[in-house]
A and B are shown apart, each in its own frame.
Chain A
Amino acid sequence: MLKLGVFELTDCGGCALNILFLYEKLFDVVKFYEIKEFHMASSFKEHDHLDVAIVTGTVSTQRDLELLKHARSHSNYLIALGTCATHGSVQGGVEGKIREKLEKVYGTKANPMKALDSKPITEYVAVDYALPGCPYDKDEIYQVLMNIANGVEPPKKDYPVCIECKLNEYECVLVKKGIPCLGPITLGGCNAICVKSGLGCIGCRGPLPKDANPAGEFEILKELGYDEEYIRKKFKTFARGELRW
C-alpha cells in the first residue's frame, strides 16, 4: 500500500473536489493507496512519511508555504495539481506588490493573514509531476496515480490543445470562425473540451512547456482584428507573465 496525501493551498477547491469526482474509480485508487490526509474528504489525518503528495493551489500565505514545505519534505513523489500549483493561474496573474494590493483593497498595508504574492508551488519546491488545468481532466490524475502505483513513470504531455482537437474532428474555431483560440500554444490534455462547445481555448492549462510561440499567436490574433491589450490580457490570465516575447 502506498501512502497518499492531498494538500490544499489557496485555491477555489475545485482541484481537490475533482479527485472526489472520480466516484467509483476512487475504489481503484484506494486499492493501491492509503489516504493519510485529504482535508476535503475526511477529517482523518496522520502525520507520516508519504509516497505520493498531491498539492493544489498557489502559495498565497505564510501558512501555504509551510504546508507546502511539509508536503515536500514528507513525500517521495510530489504532484503539482491544477494550474494554480503549476503556473499561478488567475491569482498569480494579479500584478503588483502584496502590500500595495492590500492597501488598495483594505485601505491599510497591515497584513495580519501574512499574505504573500501568489505564486505557483513550482517557484518554491521541486515538483516530480506537474499536471495543469483549471480544472484538469479527472482522468488525467487517475492515470498518473495508477501509473505510479504500477511502478510506471507517468508520461509527460508535450502537445498543444490542437492535437486532441483534431483527433476529435472538431471544427477549428480559430481558422474557420475567427474566434480567439489559444489552443496552438496551450498544453493539451483537456481533450479540447472548450472547442467541442464552439468556444476558443482560453489557455487554462498554461503554455506548451517547451517552444511555444506566443509571438506568432499574437500576430495571428492581431490580424483577426483583436486589439493588443485584449490579447495581452488573454495570454496573462492563467500563465502570469510566462507568455512573453
Chain B
Amino acid sequence: MTRRELLFALAAPGPRLQLVDVTRAAGLNFQHHTGAFGSRYLPETLGPGCAFLDYDNDGWLDVLLVNGQDWPGHPQRRATLQLFKNNRNGTFTDVTKAAGLDISLYGLGVAVADFNNDGFPDLYVTAVGQNRLLRNTGRGTFVDVTTAAGLGNRTGFSTSAAWFDYDRDGHLDLFVCNYVRWSPEQDVFCSLDGKAKSYCTPEAYRGATCWLFRNRGNGTFEDVTAKSGLFDASTKSLGVAMLDYDQDGWPDLFVANDTQPNKLYRNNRDGTFREMAVRAGVAFAEDGRARAGMGVDAGDFRRTGREGLAVTNFDNEMIGLYEATGTGFVDRAAETGIAAASRTTLGFGCLFFDADLDGHLDLLAVNGHIDDSVRNLARGPAYAQPPHLFWNDGKGRFRDISGEVGGGFREPKVGRGLALGDFDRDGDLDVLLTTNGGPAYLYRNDVGNGHRSIRFQLEGRTSNRDAIGAVVQVEDADGWQMRRVRSGSSYLSSSMLAVTFGVGLQTAVKRVVVRWPNGRVDEFKQLATGRTYRCVEGQAPVALDHR
C-alpha cells in the first residue's frame, strides 16, 4: 500500500462497531454434545442451531440453544435443549427445566413462531428421528404437541425449518428441510486419508424430500408436501429462506441443497409451487456444478427493493451472493469481493443485517469444516475457521471486517448456527452463534459512530399474528430500504422477528410502508428514529424506547 493509498484508507469512512464477547458474563453455559464416540456418524457434524426469542413476552430477548444426545448404546452424558431467560441486565438464567424444555433428542435446528396466534412464540425443533412441536403455554412453559398436531410418527434427518403462511390464510404453515436418508445401520465408511474413517459427504446417501405442513388453524397440521408439488426425494436440504422473488405478494422459498441443485419454489397462489431455480440462475454455480449449499438468507443488499440471496457453500466453492434482476438472479460474489474472501472457508449460518446501522445490509457468515481430520491433510483447509463479517460499502463492494471488530470475534471456530437479535435493547443487532461440539457465543454489538436505527415489531390481526412474510419499507434521505419479517434463513436457527433499519445519523424517516402478509398496506409518515414501533395491523404505530 502506498502512502497515498494509506491516507485515503484512513480518511475513508469505515464501519465503527465492536462485537464484544459477553458469553461468559451473560452466563450462557452451553456445550454442544454431538454424541460422537468414534464412529463418525454424519449427523454429528451438522448441529447445533440457536434462537433469539422472547418466550415470556417481557420485551427482552431470551436464548434457546439446541443440543444433540448420546447415540444408542454409547452413553456419555445427558444433554438437553437449553433455554436462557434474559435478566434484563446483560445476564441470563438457565430456565430449561422450569420451562419444561429439558428434553433430550438428537436436535439440530429450531424454528420459532406463534403458530397458534396466541401471542406467545412456539418452537419447532428439528432432529435426527422425530422432530418436536413445542407449544408455549403463555405461562413460561412449553408442552410437546407433536402428536396432537399431527406431526408425530414421522422420522427423518431434519435440518432447518421455517414458518410461513404460504396460502395467506392467517395461520403459519411449516416448511421443514430434510437432509439425507441416514440411520446408524445405513452408515457408510468414508475416508479422507484412505485409512481412518472420516465424515462422509452427502453424495454417499440418498436424498430426502422436504416437508410442507399446512396449518389448519385448529392446532393441527396437514402434510401437503405432495399436494403442493414440493415433494422431491432427490434433495439434500440444509437451509431455507422465504422471499418473494417475483414480487407478487405471495411467499416463495429458496432451499439450499448440499451437493444437489438448489431449489427456488415459486408460489403459484393456489396452494402449489413451481420449481424455478435453473431458470432463475440459482440452482448451480457459474460452472454448472451443484455446490454444497448450507445456509441461506435473503435481503435487499443493493437497496433496489428486490431481495437478493446469500448462500454459504463448501470450501473452494465460495459464498454465492445473488442479486435479483427482476426475472432471476446473478451471482455477484466475484465483483463484490465476497468470492475471493470466502474461497477457503466452509460456511454455515449466514445472515444479512445492518451491522453498523449505516443503511446498507452487511453480511455475516460463520464458518467451520465438517471433519476435524482435515487437520491431518497437508495444505488442507482448517477445521476451525474465522467467521466473515462483510461490510457493505454501499457502492457494490463488501469488505471482510471480522478482524476489526475486536472481542476475539475473528478467532477460528467450528461455526454452525447463527441468529441475530437485540438482547440488550440498544437498537443494534447482537450476534448469537453456535459451534459444533463446542460452546455457543454471544457477541454484544456496540455501534460507536452515533448511528441510529428504527425498528418495527409487527402484529397481524387477520394476517398471522407474527406478521411473518410482511414487508416493511422505509424511505429516508438516501431512498428506500426494505426488510421482511422472516422465519427460517441462516442455518438451523431463528432470529428476532422485529425488523431493524439502520439510518446513519438521521433522526427521522420520511415514510414507512407496511405490506401485511394478507395484502393490506399501512403507511406512516415522519417517524423519529432511535425507537422501536409496535405496529398492529390496521392501527397507528406505538413508539417504544429501544430500552
A binds B: no
